[in-house]
Amino acid sequence: MQNQRAEFREYEYKIQVAGAALFLCDDNARFDAAELWSDISDQQALVAGDGVLSVRAEPDSSVRLLVDVREVEQLDPDAGFHPIGRCLLDVPSGLIVVAGSADFYGDAARIPVRPALYQVAVYAGSLDTIYSGLRRSQNCLKVVLSLC
């Protein structure tokens, strides 16, 4: 019997948030960002709808976003990351759009995935970077998608 390795792909983006949230959604999903957040409290960090996940971010900011696509869920988040929510995301098109605003949807990055329903875990944290010999901490979001 041959051992099969679980699929794991990691993507990294620097997203320019042009409102107060960033989006991960199925390429065919159509939504109104304002309506998506209309009945949500200020304390809630994420909201999911029909084929769309929106994560609250600092308005008009740049966010470092890590996206992990896995066949199986990682039970423990990486060191330095804290869970902020879980949801399901249906991706029948096989493409996940990553955007800082619903207005920039057409030009946004796309991640190819197996068309399926995914369990999503969202984490917040910081990553240390080295710039000109100085260590700097940068706010970061991490999204882990696992096949259901």
pLDDT bin (cut points 50, 70, 90) of residue 3 is very low
Q: Dump pLDDT digits (tens) for 38-95.
A: 877 777 888 888 899 999 888 888 888 999 998 776 655 566 788 889 999 999 999 9
Reported pTM: 0.82
Question: Greater confidence, 22 or 105?
Answer: 22
SS3 41: coil
Task: Please name each of the domains of the chain with its CATH number.
Answer: 8-147 (2.60.34.30)
> What was the pLDDT predicted at 71?
79
- Taking CA atoms, 126 is separated from 74, 81, 103, in Å, by 19, 7, 27
Look over the chain and give the mean of its residue pLDDT values, rounded to a whole number: 81
